[in-house]
Structure 1
Amino acid sequence: MADNGNPFTRDLDKVQANYTPLSPLSFLARAAAVFPEHTAIVHGRQRVSYAEFYARSRRLASALAARGIGKNDTVTVMLSNTPPMLEAHYGVPMTGAVLHSLNTRLDAAVLAFQLDHAESKVVITDREFAPVMKEALALAKVSPLVIDYDDLEFPQTGELLGEIGYEDFVASGDPDFAWQLPADEWDAISLNYTSGTTGNPKGVVYHHRGAYLLAQANVLTASMARHPVYLWTLPMFHCNGWCFPWSLSLVAGTHVCLRWVRAKQIWEALAEEGVTHLCGAPIVMSTVLNAPDEEKRDLDGRIVEFFTAAAPPPEAVLAAMKEAGFNVTHLYGLTEVYGPAVVNDWKREWDDRPAAEQAALKARQGVRYVALEDLAVLDPQTMQPVPADGETLGEVMFRGNVVMKGYLKNPEATAEAFSGGWFHSGDLGVMHEDGYIQLKDRSKDIIISGGENISSIEVEDVLFKHRDVMAAAVVARPDDKWGETPCAFVELRPGASVGAEEIIEFCRERLARFKVPRHVVFTELPKTSTGKIQKFVLREMARKV
């Protein structure tokens, strides 16, 4: 309550002149006003200016509003990295509605669950995904307005499911639509579902304030100068593309859409569009590095900034990326914190360290984003910080404005995630003396063998050092004597030929004996749509080894 006797509170109220709720929607309006002719979107041969991008987003908002879509209604999209996905990031929230992006690799049952749980009023779907969406819509209880996107740059043959095409729908809207900023910056802007590997996925709700702050933090973290060129190798359905659909408007950057993540198209975009930044999981690095020589292109000495999350890149991969012209920065985050909220903030004095030491430093997740108020490694039982000794395990926890509102229709899960005044990540890590955190494992991925904890990440790091290993993952395998032992799943480089015994011996020379995998399985690793290895699948496979 204001103290009317205090001169700093008396007659100094928030009014329209001095307070506006924060929202990333304002970024596009400014970019269109200041740089109307600058290219905002590249999609195949298509070029869209900022003036056109803004007008089309307003048309989309107007057309949705004309269909009765308003505050807190859910608009679902099933789209790849194409212009309509970018337009949805602005046009949907311009009506006060909430954007819900579907993972394009999910099965119909999970998609139907999300449609019902989100209470979707509108679905915009790409023809490429017509078969699975037709099944999902048949399974779902909701009956949304269905709009088909037909990509003329990359024509698809899928069935048309809706009553209107996307271009006709947008054309029906007003390019001068008088959209409004949210009345409250705490209003929901988007809905993102977790992977749901142990049951139904949870709906993570983002607010305008968090999206605004994380988008700005991306620009600072990525050192994005005016007019960067960003290649969309990261799926926009994943944490709203780590909020980069909003970040680029801040600096009037160019979005280079990539419908499919393929090596040839990546190298073409890098060379021909002058790409300056891209993001992705380690699988994207593998795609780039393992491209045939005839598909690789000369970058003319340019350094391209590559931001990666998930597992830390192995030393050999970092060296290969540097040689290819990429500067790799390691990020860390979760869906619940708008994507990346931790960065391995590199210090210049580390440039003089030996290569192996640099790789060890780069493997750390790092320090909090500028938009995150607090990051800690705590004992989950006592909620006290663990010693900053680089050895004592604790749970990584977050606190601040880029933590989700909570889980949709799931107060129990929200309360559990926020217990003790922190967001509990479920990730186990250590705090180093210099304040940089390092993940050691997910709590569910720690292998307990004979009472000893084994970090799967530590064993994987050793496997990655083998010259013939392209990818590796380690999980627990039940063992009658030890309880659990490490089981390694290995994906070899093309043309490589190596046996399990050689891999095991390689590990014996570099690990304590109890950490050495007892079993090695050579296989293609199962991955999510964002390139993360599905360890829950591997755990089931390990039981049968």
Structure 2
Amino acid sequence: MGTLGFWRLAQADPGWIAAVDPDGTEHRAGDLLARANRLVHGLRDDLGLQPGDGVCGLAPNGADGLVLYLAALQAGWYYTPVNWHLTGPEIAYIVSDSEAKAFFVHPRFVEEGTRAAEAIAPERRFVMGEGADGFRPMRELTDGRPGTAPPDRTAGLTMHYTSGTTGKPKGVRRPLSGLDPDDSAELMTFLLGLFGVTPGRPNAHLVTSPSYHTAVTQFGGTALHMGHTLVYMDRFDAEELLRLCERHRVTSSHMVPTHFKRLLALPEETRRAYDLSSLRWMIHAAAPCPVPVKWAMLEWWGDCVYEYYAATEGGGTLATPEGWKAHPGTVGTAWPISELLIVDEQGEPVPARTPGTIYMKMLGASFEYKGDPDKTAANRLKDFFTVGDIGYLDEDGFLFLCDRKADMIISGGANIYPAEIENELMIHPKVADVAVFGIPDEEWGEQIKAVVEPAPGAEPGPALAAELLASLEGRLARMKWPRTVDFIAEMPREPNGKLLKRKLRDPYWEGHDRAI
């Protein structure tokens, strides 16, 4: 221990550019360190925050949210970055449920932040700027405070809320370690070490998705603790990503398959116009990646495309470029500190290549869903947990995903996995995005519905629907073909790539009881 961790690195080299905002503003490590230190002093002196207390932040990608993270993680607090796409009442639920002792709102999100304000006492609400009714300016906490390290530093943690694709979101809370913050940060670097990521400069990590997502915070924070520069995007734009990679000599990023699809849709001359020779660890997850899309990215970017499967709750798999090429479609093998278990409906292990519910566990990773012991217990099998995904292991221990259990279609007694159908339709050049799910059918129980977001220039209608179905000939059994195809202008996805399928599916099930 002793060479990594942001606070340690910033003291040793305060002039290192630790973060670049979406507008290009550069932030030196020493300045971020001083801001984080002042905030700790302020919250302790003004509001009496203690280790184990919670702090919520409603802030866009960039240095402002990073300062909240760096303050909480050296003061023993739980930091919850809040999804800025939520409405006021949804934000209020998280602020209240997390028992936050301070709530920070960026001026950009004041409207919904104000609607959420009743969840916390007025003296505990802060605006990261000026002039918001009902909020104290953050400078009241920080002005005149020392920029030096606070005493009694102890490691805090992020407490992310699961996305709430079913029911209300739940905070995933882990016990605090009591470690020195830099030692704790150094232990965190194990994750990026799995991908072969090396510490030190010159390295730059591109943040392509909202930093309220677990993986985005985890990968970005870990890269920072390894001494890498964080380069933030405000929102994903395919050509802007290429420009930033060239401009900042980006070496790593965390992406989702939707990003790949948009990158591959760029004209060939645009794709070739940028120098991407710095890329070393372009890591993706969060949604199934169609095999042809992954092959196309490997051909374009070379053997720097890594994949993993994991959950906020802990545990996961890793597919190196070499491992994936030998087992196309896999999400990899278990991490060295993780174990996988595939079981049937009775909770019994199943043989290789037999789909079942995926359970995982990770060494030393205990957690609970905050305030919901029933959900915590329901998702456990012995000391393994599940998020409800279905998959199988091959003979070599490589995991392949089928779908989420809740999304599985049962038609005529047969189990059909929408993800398999989505992957085949996604390949079509006239498809920008697609969702497949079951809708009520009097005879079969469920029939297969596809909802397609056409690619730019593709005309939605019966002709395109027929063309898409015909493209499945010889590639997918007829029993898996969608019975009908509907079109939508834009798919309801979270910015981390997660499809909000219930928003599409629920209208078809109104007045019907769904078996699953």
Take 1:196 and 1:416, find their aligned partners in 2: how far apart are those partners?
16
1:58 to 14, 20, 37: 37
CA distance in 2, matches of 1:410, 1:193: 13
Which of 242, 246, 253 is 1:278 aligned to?
253
The CA distance in 1 between the partners of 2:252 and 2:310, in whole Å, is 19
Counterpart of 2:79 (choices 99, 104, 111) is 99
The one of 332, 342, 350 aligned to 1:386:
350
* Residue 520 (structure 1) aligned to one of 478, 485, 498: 485
Aligned equivalents of 1:36, 1:159: Cα separation in 2: 32
Q: What does residue range 357-436 of structure 1 map to in structure 2 within 5 Å?
A: 361-370=327-336, 372-379=337-344, 381-382=346-347, 384-388=348-352, 390=353, 392-401=354-363, 403-436=365-398
SS in 1 for 2:159: strand
Work out whether residues 397 and 423 of structure 1, in 8 Å CA contact, stay in contact via their aligned partners in 2: yes
In 2, Cα distance between equivalents of 1:170 and 1:294: 49
For 1:174, give the aligned amino acid: P
For residues 236 and 221 of structure 1, the distance between their equivalents in structure 2, rounded to whole angstroms, comes to: 20
Residue 40 of structure 1 is matched in structure 2 by: 18
Q: Please, what TM-score do these two structures have when normalized by structure 1? A: 0.83
Match for 2:351: what amino acid? P
- Give the Cα–Cα distance (whole angstroms) in 1 for the partners of residues 123 and 318 of structure 2: 40
Task: Quote the residue 2:282 is aligned against.
Answer: 306
The structural deviation recorded for 1:161 is 4.3
Give the superposition deviation at 1:250: 3.6
Partners of 1:289 and 1:54 lie apart in 2 by 39
CA distance in 2, matches of 1:99, 1:77: 8
Q: For 1:34-56, what per-residue CA distance to the aligned partner results, in whole angstroms no more than 9, with x for missing partners?
A: 43332211123432232333222
State the AA in 1 paired with 2:497.
G
Shift of 1:529: 3.0
Q: Where do 1:152-191 residues align within 5 Å?
A: 160-161=132-133, 163-166=135-138, 169-182=141-154, 189-191=157-159
Q: Which string of whole-angstrom CA distances, capped at 9 and with x for unpartnered residues, describes residues 430-476 of structure 1?
A: 01111011111111011111111111111112112323222212111
Give the distance between the partners of 1:47 and 1:299, measured in 2 at CA.
22
Find the counterpart in structure 2 of residue 113 from structure 1. Answer: 93
- Choose from 458, 464, 474 the match for 1:496: 458
State the alpha-carbon separation in 2 of the partners of residues 119 and 25 from structure 1: 34
Alpha-carbon distance change, 25 to 102 in structure 1, aligned in 2, over 3 angstroms = farther
Alpha-carbon distance between aligned partners in 2 of 1:330 and 1:451, rounded to the nearest angstrom: 33
SS at 1:255 equivalent: strand
Q: Amino acid of the residue matched to residue 204 of structure 1?
A: V
Q: Which residue type is aligned with residue 115 of structure 2?
A: E
Pair 1:533–1:300, CA change in 2 (3 A): closer
> What SS does the aligned partner of 2:116 have?
helix
Assess, with a 3 A threshold, how the Cα gap between structure 1 residues 342 and 369 changes in structure 2: closer, same or farther: same
Report whether the alignment pairs 1:255 with 2:214. no
How far 1:527 moved relative to its partner? 0.6
Unpaired runs of 5+ residues, structure 2, are: 178-183, 511-516
Report SS of the residue matched to 2:233: coil
2:423 corresponds to which of 461, 478, 485: 461
Instruction: Number of aligned residue pairs: give it.
Output: 495
Secondary structure of the 2:420 match is: helix
- Compute the displacement of 1:428 (Å): 0.8
Q: Distance in 2 between matches of 1:325 and 1:451?
A: 43
CA distance change for structure 1 residues 203 and 25 in 2, over 3 Å: closer, same or farther?
farther
For 2:350, the aligned partner's letter is V
2:167 to 190, 199, 204: 199
Percent identity over the alignment? 27
The question of 1:221 aligning with 2:199 is answered no
| Residue number in structure 2 paired with 1:336 | 313
In structure 1, distance between residues paired with 2:124 and 2:59:
16
* Greater alpha carbon shift after TM alignment, 490-499 vs 165-174: 165-174
1:265 aligns with 2:245: no
Gaps of 5+ in 1: 1-21, 151-157, 352-357
The CA distance in 2 between the partners of 1:83 and 1:308, in whole Å, is: 23
CA contact (8 A) 2:430 2:455 kept: yes
Q: Distance in 2 between matches of 1:328 and 1:395?
A: 27
Structure-2 separation of matches of 1:60 and 1:424: 37
Instruction: Indicate how the Cα distance of structure 1 residues 300 and 279 shifts in structure 2: closer, same or farther if over 3 A, else same.
Output: closer
Q: Which amino acid aligns with 1:117?
A: D
**Residue 5 (structure 2) pairs with residue 27 (structure 1):** yes
Q: Is the 8 A contact 2:293 2:427 kept in 1?
A: no
Alignment partner of 1:472 out of 431, 434, 437: 434
* SS of structure 1 residue aligned to 2:289: coil
Preserved contact between residue 41 and residue 47 of structure 1 (Cα < 8 Å)? yes
Cα deviation per residue 1:204-255 (whole Å; 9 max; x = unaligned)?
1134559764442123325235322001113221116251243123421101
**How does 1:310-329 map onto structure 2 within 5 Å?**
310-325=286-301, 327-329=304-306
Which residue number corresponds to residue 61 of structure 2? 81
1: distance between equivalents of 2:63 and 2:269? 29
Residues 130 and 161 in structure 1, CA contact (< 8 A), matched pair in contact too:
no
Looking at structure 2, the residues matched to 542 and 508 of structure 1 have their Cα atoms a distance apart, in angstroms, of 27
Q: Which position in structure 1 is the counterpart of 2:513? A: none
Residue pair 2:197, 2:281 contacting (<8 A) in 1 also: no
**In 2: Cα distance, 1:261 partner to 1:509 partner:** 35
After superposition, give the CA deviation of every residue in 1:182-207 in whole Å (9 maximum; x if it has no partner): 3xx7xx62221112233221111134
Offset, 1:295: 6.8
Indicate whether 1:235 and 2:215 are aligned. no
Describe the SS at the equivalent of 2:160.
Answer: strand
Distance 1:76 1:141 in 2: 11
Equivalent positions of 1:3-22 (< 5 A) are none
In structure 2, how many angstroms separate the alpha carbons of the residues matched to 1:78 and 1:402? 30
Is the CA contact (8 Å cut-off) linking 1:230 and 1:254 kept in structure 2? yes
Determine which of 476, 483, 502 is the counterpart of 2:445: 483
AA in 1 matched with 2:440: P
In the TM superposition, what is the alpha-carbon distance from 1:319 to its structure 2 partner? Answer: 4.0
**C-alpha spacing 1:437/1:422, structure 2 compared with 1 (3 Å):** same
